[in-house]
Each structure stands twice: as structure tokens, then as C-alpha cells.
Amino acid sequence: MASILSGSFHHVRNCHMSCINISLLRFSSGKYILDQCNTRSLTTRAQLTREGPQNGTPESIKLHISKAEVVKPHIEPIQCYPALPNEEKLEAKMNRPATILVFDLETTGANSPGERIIEFAARNLMGGRNSTFQTLINPEIKIKNSYIHGITNSMVDRPRVPRIEDVIPLVMEWVRIQQEPGNPVVWLAHNGKTFDFHFFLREMSHCGYDIPDDWRFFDTLPLAKRLVDPTGKLKGRSIKELCKHFNIIVNEPAHRAMADVNMLSLIYQRLTISQEFTSLNLIEESLMASDIKWKPRSER
């Protein structure tokens, strides 16, 4: 079985990428196993430059990457449930109906306008080069819940760790590269409707970005709740419990953004197959940004 490689796409201000983390997916004794390892350093240069007047007015931020230096692993696609017979022609006409991006956040606390994102990770299920994005984020406030994800202020309070104002423009550029022309983008997150979507939309607004009209949001938790468990062994619908149910063994740090993205990508694949849930179903059941009742950012 082909390995699925997940490369960390770190963007930092005025610095070199130091390394990438690789997650290998292997199949052993009827179980999917995710292993993590590190590769040698890259020489890719990712640089942010600011343009605009220096009198306090907003500046534009641009990403400059030397394409000749970029060395990225090829990420294999994660195949989900195929089109049903009566949808085949429509799917073929639409090519791929949507660009599906699985994402996860780590934050300074629970869903509150005063809390901040400290890690962002995403992957395009179609795979390919540069199909993952991952970075730590300096929240510029105290992290109160390091015991959950292991991220401390000393890890993010560094010159080379970007602020959210630096990251959102890079996310927008990354999505632009991933999106297939004419198709919507669907953001997938587990329990996203009550957590991840709120943080993401809040920070998008804070950074002055409108949500594109062709963006959709899909919470995989309700889909997981439809899962029939004849054995009665499935105790809940958390990512941890679903990994147990689908025999996905994870040797990556728990509650880190890219680890959760990798797990959810495989879980979503298994959910779509077990429930015959197609990409067209995904689009039909996804939410518009206006359907998500998030609150504006505030100070803690």
C-alpha cells in the first residue's frame, strides 16, 4: 500500500524553513498506522515582505518563495466514497465537485472571543505537492491550556513564529493555489460548528478578510453520529474513539493540529465509504459562513 506523506508547510517571517515533519501511513495486521519521523533540513526560503506607507495605514503582505529551492514531498490523495451511478455524469461534468480541505486548530482556551489560535494545520484531500499547511502562531497572550496540546508560550513567543495577521494572508494564498477553478472550497473539521469554524472566521474578520462566497464549512461530527455500531463498543464520536473503531493506530502527538488533521482525513474516508456519502452530499450538507454564529474578537 502506498505511503501517505504529510509534510509540514511552515511559513515564517524573514527566515529559512528549518525542517519538515513527515507522517507515514502503513497498513499492518488489518490496521492503519500513522508514524511520525523527521527529515533533514530544507533550504527553502519563505519570506514575507510588507508594502505600504509607514504612517499607520494598513500594509499589504506578500509571500515570496523561491520555486527553484522548494523541495516538498508528494502527498498521495485520500480516496473517499465514489459517485453513485446516477451522479457519475454530473461528477464528470464538474470534474471534482469541490476542493476538500481538512483542518484543525489548537488554541489558548475554549471557544471564547478572548482566546486565540496558536497552531493551524490543513491538508487538501486530493494530495499533491504543497498540499499541506502547518504553522505555530504567536497569540501574544498567555496560553492557559498547555496541558492539553503541549504548546507553551516559550514555543510561540519567538521572532520566527508568525502572528495571526501574518498567517491569514498565507492561508488565503495557499487556498488559492489548491482550489480548482470554478469549484467551491469545503473546509472540514471535527466539531467545527462549535469550535474551529468560530476561531477561523473570527480571525479572518479580525485580519480584514471577507469570507469568499464559494467557501463552505462541514462539521464531520454529525456525520460520525450517523455511524451504525452493531458491536456497541463505540463509546463516543471523538477522533480518538473513531480511530479505535476504524483500526487507525496513531503514533503522533495527541492534540496537535497536523496529527488531528491526518487522523480526521482517514476517518472521513472511512465514514464516506461506510455511509456511501459522496462529495455531492458533502456540498449539499455544508454550511455557509453566514450559518455559523461566531462572535467578534475581544480582549481576554
Active site residues: 255
**What DSSP assignment string belongs to 78-146?**
---PPPPGGGHHHHHHTSSS-EEEEEEEEESSSS-TT--EEEEEEEETT-BTT-EEEEE-B-SS--S-H
Give the C-alpha separation, 250 to 23, whole Å. Answer: 10
Cell numbers found for residue 100: 476538500
Picking from 212, 215, 220, 250, the residue whose alpha carbon sits closest to that of residue 102 is: 220
Residue type, 274: S
Between the two ends of the chain, the Cα-to-Cα distance in Å is 48
Give the C-alpha separation, 25 to 6, whole Å. Answer: 9
Give the C-alpha separation, 114 to 203, whole Å. Answer: 11
Between vectors from CA 119 to CA 176 and to CA 189, what angle results, nearest 5°?
A: 65
Give the C-alpha separation, 223 to 276, whole Å. Answer: 11
Name 220's Cβ contacts closer than 8 Å, sequence gap at least 6.
188, 189, 190, 192, 264, 267, 268, 271
Give the C-alpha separation, 7 to 102, whole Å. Answer: 14
DSSP 3-state of 161: coil
Picking from 75, 71, 74, the residue whose alpha carbon sits closest to that of residue 46 is: 71
